[in-house]
Amino acid sequence: MFIVDAHLDLAMNAMEWNRDLRMPIEAIRAREQGRTDKPDRGRGTVCFPEMRRGHVGLCVATLIARHVKPGNPLPGWHSPEQAWAQTQGQLAWYQEMERQGELRCITSPILLDEHLKDWESGDPETKPIGFVLSLEGADSIVEPRLLERSYRQGLRIVGPAHYGPGTYAKGTHTTGGLGLRGRELLKEMDALGMILDVTHLSDDSFWEALEVFQGPVWASHSNCRALVPDQRQFSDEQLRALLERGAVIGAAFDAWMLVPGWKRGISNPDNTEVGLAHVADHIDHICQLAGSAGHAMLGTDLDGGFGREQSPSEIDTIADLQKLPDLLRQKGYSPADVDGIMHGNFTNFLGRAWAGSR
């Protein structure tokens, strides 16, 4: 089955984790053996060969660089200009992967249709993987008026915040609204016809963003607070507000977001029961709220700062996403429902979002 993943930090893994994603996953893991600078060394799950083996032919790929002000303990850059330069380095990597035929940047309905038709036949090992460019945390946009230069570079989706307080919004595990600059950024996004990703917004910023932003909205990688009580997840009230806006919500695979009580560095797939069944539970919760399967998708965040040690037990590599359709069928979802969750809801939303846009 053709699969779309609405959130992968490909450039972060290439540039900060120093992974050559063209290599087989075994080679990437072997090269990292004995290293401890990152928590997931030797346990990565994503590379181009495994994406192709799993027919993950289209994804949302991120640019990410946080600006941290004095007193902010989170890792990040000390000025927006440095954060901008970091995202430009990530963009250069995407562009080089395009030149080599590994990736294909999707920026319009025409390119989306062409890419999907290309993947309908032939050997996936010869196909470029499509990606839609997203900015996770907008700190690197030095001024709202400069967002257009990123649009010209292919950026189509923006999540205003990440973890902690951001320049344009408050993020995960913080409180507070957008502020003047955040509202200016959303208005610029509206003018450019961009998609707002509400993932990682604080509750205050979430509600203000929905009020200010008039364009298409989605949540690329967010789970359900009713199943895992944490502000990183969305409450049923928030999910209903997104459904009213026609959003699709991507199920994230980070284990602490799947089951309550997960303890980083202590819990793992071997000493807990975390698995794809929990992913299916979060998907099902959204579908029950919506009254249909038309608003759920995958936004795995695999290798988003964690590897096999913090993934569902059945996931050795991203190719194992092919195990999820059977679980959804066992929950009573029809073949058409499963197709929608695995790829169709994403592509339909994207087509609608881009219809008549700039």
How much is the pLDDT for 181? Answer: 96
On the question of pLDDT at 335 being above 60, the answer is yes
On the question of pLDDT at 190 being above 80, the answer is yes
Question: How does the average pLDDT of the chain come out, rounded?
Answer: 97
Residue from 95, 93, 179 nearest 144 by CA: 179
pLDDT digits (tens, 9 = 90+) for 63-122: 999 999 999 999 999 999 999 999 999 999 999 999 999 999 999 999 999 999 999 988
- Percentage of the chain beyond pLDDT 70 is 99
DSSP 192-255: HTPEEE-TT--HHHHHHHHHH--S-EEBSS--BTTTS-STTSBPHHHHHHHHHTT--EEEP--G
- Could you give the maximum distance between any two Cα atoms of the chain, in Å? 53
Cα–Cα–Cα angle for 145, 146, 147, rounded to 5 degrees: 95
Determine the Cα–Cα distance for residues 17 and 243; give it in Å rounded to an integer. Answer: 36
- What is the pLDDT averaged over residues 38-49? 97
pLDDT digits (tens, 9 = 90+) for 241-300: 999 999 999 999 999 999 999 998 899 999 999 999 999 999 999 999 999 999 999 999
On the question of pLDDT at 358 being above 70, the answer is no
Instruction: Write down the domain spans for the chain.
Output: 3-8+48-354
The residues facing 63 across adjacent strands are: 135
- What is the pLDDT averaged over residues 332-337? 98
Determine the Cα–Cα distance for residues 214 and 353; give it in Å rounded to an integer. Answer: 12
- What is the pLDDT averaged over residues 309-330? 98
On the question of pLDDT at 48 being above 60, the answer is yes
On the question of pLDDT at 350 being above 70, the answer is yes
pLDDT digits (tens, 9 = 90+) for 121-169: 888 888 999 999 999 999 999 999 999 999 999 999 999 999 999 999 9
Helix or strand or coil: residue 178? coil
How much is the pLDDT for 122? Answer: 80
How much is the pLDDT for 357? Answer: 64
**Both tokens assigned to 52:** 């192709």
CATH code, 3-8+48-354: 3.20.20.140
DSSP 254-311: -GGGTSTT--TTT--TTTS---HHHHHHHHHHHHHHHTSSTTEEE---TTSS--GGGS
How much is the pLDDT for 123? Answer: 87
- What is the pLDDT averaged over residues 2-22? 98
On the question of pLDDT at 226 being above 70, the answer is yes
Determine the Cα–Cα distance for residues 67 and 165; give it in Å rounded to an integer. Answer: 9
* pTM for the predicted model, two decimal places: 0.97
On the question of pLDDT at 325 being above 80, the answer is yes
On the question of pLDDT at 54 being above 70, the answer is yes
Average the pLDDT over each of 1-5, 231-235, 269-273 and give the range with the smallest value. Answer: 269-273
The residues facing 197 across adjacent strands are: 218
